[in-house]
Structure 1
Amino acid sequence: MIWPWVLGGVALAVAAAPAIAEAMRMPVTTRRRSEAPGEIAELPGGATHYRWTGSDGDPVAVCIHGLSTPSYVFAATERSLARLGYRVLTYDLYGRGYSERARGAQGVDFFLRQLRELLRDQAVTGPLTVLGYSMGGQIAAAFAAEEASRVEALILIAPAGLVPAEKTESGWLWRAPLIGGWLTRVLGGIALRRELIENRSTPTVIPDFEDRQAAETRTRGYLPALLSSRRHLLAHASHGDHVRIRDHGTRVLAIWGAEDPVIPLAAMGKLASLNPRARHEQIAGAGHNLLQTHPAQVAEALRTFLAP
């Protein structure tokens, strides 16, 4: 009978679909990295794209981006920090932008290793101001908790790790144990691009923000990186890190979007309970993309917190 052969062929095609979909996406080649607007550090864990803004000799501020948007999300923020007298280091997390599609479970240790290797490569040994946005806020908090003696100030912008992120239409793709991985690799890009269209904003500093994000979904290794980070980092709370930060007495500023559909304002209350010393700034009318849509208000919050 032909049916067993047909069913076998269908099963084989289904099983091979994730690998085929990934193979069809654009790889991040050495030549492509050579065209990056910055530099490439060949770290033990893999090539990392980074950029310095500001003057040599100024105190160092490190900016850590979130789950899905590479370091260009700090286009306005790095300029604001430089005007405040900081030398600003931004970089692409593994799996995003021009950085390596490094192997391994993308939990907190995975990203802390990349950050420490980059700081070592760049000979950054003095005190730091660390700024983390969204998932980057969770990484920044972990770094500040473990490297308390190095961190003078911690700035969290719509940080993850305090309360569960709000569910999106495609959220079930990430949570389903087996089929979630298949759907993410095969259809995740389509789902994310649809969300970008439906939630299109009017950014003031990155006019082609949604187009650049859509291009990421067509890059090899990006969707598996998002899936791994969701499962190995964002699925876990960082409450203990904030308690250690509180106990050390590190200065903390948290900036929130009042209309954020991803990180609910309940996270602000949770941080306040874990670290009553933390300072909070809430930006009216801002959503999760507040770095692009409300750069002036973010800049003013940074100036008020950091100015001597």
Structure 2
Amino acid sequence: MNSTPLAFRTKLLDRRDWYIAITAPVIGYLAARLLANLIRAASYNGVPSRPKIYRAPSQNLLTERDIPYPPDALSGGRDVSTPFGNTRVYEWGPETGRKILFVHGISTPCIVFARLAKRLVDSGHRVMLFDLYGRGYSDGPDPSIYRQDIGFFSAQILSVLASSSLNWMEGFSMVGYSLGGGISAEFCSYYPHPVESLILICSGGVTRPFKISTVSKLMYNDLFPDWVVNWWMRRTLRAASVVKPIDKVEEVHDDHRAHAENSSFPIFEDRENASAATTVAWQVAAHEGFVPSFVSSVKYAPIHDGHERWRRIGERCEERRKGGQVRGLKEGKVLLLLGGYDAVISSTETAEDAASVLGEENVCTRVLEGGHDLPTVNSEECFQPQGDVIFAGRTVSKGTEELVLV
């Protein structure tokens, strides 16, 4: 008896089993998607659904002094309603004083500027601070719908400026810290006319991308679904909230407060439990939108790719200093303040890259005592850098040139 046809049929059946095993789940998934779409279409009432908004923590916390960021921590607080949810804004200081807008970084909300803002108000300035979407007491619109890129943040900044009873668009100084530096620089490149001075502290924007770890590249490259990336980042941020000493800081043997361990220094003079570390930990626990917003900012915010927009700023500075009819950036320079012990933003690399992109004549760089928490741990030198440039609106000579950067 010839067994060849039987063996052939057996192999064919085996193949069919494999084909069915492979294709059945795909067909089942597509059928389920089609059924869900049909049900959704049948139940559609003509009213479009709105994207999800992660609501900020409740502000019924005025008496809870044990949290690092109570909503009455700063003066002049208000909530601004926008299409993306509420934005928390603080504005105070003399109405006739020079106006200064602050943009904070990727993790710590606007209270990171508390000490610096107080110094400026005490010296006669008008300040405005706000929480980026998904931080502090600002809502976080669904990042899967609204990417946290420069267009998204620019819309928020314009909403904040328009919310004031004063006319900020007639001219203000802009101070950006960390990610907020990248945001501020690109905002200035698109909306240069009202920005009279641009000050970048420990700024992102042209950070060298090779510093991204392999794990981060995998996690942020859409290889995994959002819930996996958010879960991983939530664990990472919780672990990062445990303060660890930094080697470079440990090598310093004096007690200057700028040498305090990164993230542990008190944000407020009268509230020791409020630090960058405790505030981030509070946001992870209390704000459902914080981690998704953080992840979206890492993916899409201006951290590494701002070179083209920074070059545009440099061109405008050059034109301004040559006497061209250019509005904004009155000094024809950008002030860059860097922390000498910053383990996040390298002072050496950032100074080199900023000078290369902006042009050496269009940037004034000062390396100050401190790490990445520079606005907190060394607010006095951010207010008034040591050397031949004054930060808070006073003029000093640099050769035959005078600079007034705020």
The TM-score range, normalised by the shorter chain, is 0.7 to 0.9
Question: CA 1:79–1:213 in structure 2 vs 1: closer, same or farther (change >3 Å)?
Answer: same
* Alignment partner of 1:257 is 2:373: no
Give the structure 2 partner of residue 147 of structure 1.
191
CA distance in 1, matches of 2:87, 2:170: 21
Given that 1:158 and 1:256 are in contact with CA atoms closer than 8 Å, whether structure 2 keeps it comes out as yes
The alpha carbon displacement at 1:190 in A equals 2.4
Question: CA 1:176–1:116 in structure 2 vs 1: closer, same or farther (change >3 Å)?
Answer: same
CA distance in 2, matches of 1:142, 1:85: 28
CA distance in 2, matches of 1:41, 1:181: 29
Give the structure 2 partner of residue 75 of structure 1.
114
CA distance in 2, matches of 1:101, 1:33: 19
**Counterpart among 292, 296, 300 of residue 380 in structure 2:** 296
Give the structure 1 partner of residue 205 of structure 2.
161
Question: CA 1:33–1:253 in structure 2 vs 1: closer, same or farther (change >3 Å)?
Answer: farther
Structure 2 length-normalised TM = 0.64
**Counterpart among 235, 256, 260 of residue 190 in structure 1:** 235
Aligned residue for 2:157, secondary structure, equals helix
CA distance in 2, matches of 1:295, 1:235: 24
Name the count of aligned residue pairs: 283
CA distance in 1, matches of 2:316, 2:307: 15
Question: CA 1:45–1:33 in structure 2 vs 1: closer, same or farther (change >3 Å)?
Answer: farther
Question: CA 1:145–1:77 in structure 2 vs 1: closer, same or farther (change >3 Å)?
Answer: same
Where in structure 2 are the equivalents of 1:215-230 lying within 5 Å? 215-218=282-285, 219-230=287-298
Given that 2:150 and 2:302 are in contact with CA atoms closer than 8 Å, whether structure 1 keeps it comes out as no
Amino acid at match of 1:271: A
* Alignment partner of 1:121 is 2:207: no
Give the structure 2 partner of residue 248 of structure 1.
316
Question: CA 1:98–1:168 in structure 2 vs 1: closer, same or farther (change >3 Å)?
Answer: farther
Give the structure 1 partner of residue 281 of structure 2.
214
Give the structure 2 partner of residue 5 of structure 1.
none
Give the structure 2 partner of residue 23 of structure 1.
none
* Alignment partner of 1:36 is 2:90: no
Greater radius of gyration (CA):
2
Question: CA 1:93–1:173 in structure 2 vs 1: closer, same or farther (change >3 Å)?
Answer: farther
Instruction: Identify the range of structure 1 (36-45 vs 258-267) with the bigger mean alpha-carbon deviation.
Output: 36-45
Amino acid at match of 1:231: K
Question: CA 1:170–1:58 in structure 2 vs 1: closer, same or farther (change >3 Å)?
Answer: farther
CA distance in 2, matches of 1:169, 1:195: 18
Given that 1:61 and 1:131 are in contact with CA atoms closer than 8 Å, whether structure 2 keeps it comes out as yes
The alpha carbon displacement at 1:186 in A equals 1.8
Give the structure 1 partner of residue 47 of structure 2.
none
CA distance in 2, matches of 1:301, 1:248: 25
Unmatched runs of 5 consecutive residues or more in structure 1: 1-7, 9-25
CA distance in 2, matches of 1:169, 1:83: 46
CA distance in 1, matches of 2:86, 2:205: 27
Given that 2:56 and 2:134 are in contact with CA atoms closer than 8 Å, whether structure 1 keeps it comes out as no
Give the structure 2 partner of residue 13 of structure 1.
none
The alpha carbon displacement at 1:235 in A equals 5.5
CA distance in 2, matches of 1:280, 1:186: 38
Aligned residue for 2:242, secondary structure, equals helix
Given that 1:184 and 1:223 are in contact with CA atoms closer than 8 Å, whether structure 2 keeps it comes out as no
Offset from partner CA, 1:217-242 (integer Å, 9 cap, x none): 11201100011111111464111222
The alpha carbon displacement at 1:170 in A equals 7.3
Identity within the alignment, %: 25
Q: Which has a greater percent of helix?
A: 1
The alpha carbon displacement at 1:179 in A equals 2.7
The alpha carbon displacement at 1:102 in A equals 1.8
CA distance in 1, matches of 2:229, 2:218: 6
The alpha carbon displacement at 1:156 in A equals 0.0
Instruction: Identify the range of structure 1 (34-43 vs 67-76) with the bigger mean alpha-carbon deviation.
Output: 34-43
CA distance in 1, matches of 2:363, 2:103: 19
The list of structure 1 runs, each at least 4 consecutive aligned residues, that deviate by more than 4 angstroms after superposition, is 29-35, 165-170
Amino acid at match of 1:268: A
Given that 1:254 and 1:278 are in contact with CA atoms closer than 8 Å, whether structure 2 keeps it comes out as yes
CA distance in 2, matches of 1:153, 1:141: 11
Given that 2:88 and 2:138 are in contact with CA atoms closer than 8 Å, whether structure 1 keeps it comes out as yes
Offset from partner CA, 1:55-99 (integer Å, 9 cap, x none): 112121000000011001001111122234320000000111100
Structure 1 length-normalised TM = 0.83
Amino acid at match of 1:138: G
CA distance in 1, matches of 2:83, 2:155: 9
CA distance in 2, matches of 1:58, 1:169: 48
- Over aligned residue pairs, what C-alpha RMSD do you find? 2.6
Aligned residue for 1:304, secondary structure, equals coil
Instruction: Identify the range of structure 1 (238-247 vs 105-114) with the bigger mean alpha-carbon deviation.
Output: 238-247
Unmatched runs of 5 consecutive residues or more in structure 2: 1-24, 26-53, 63-69, 246-260, 318-328, 396-406
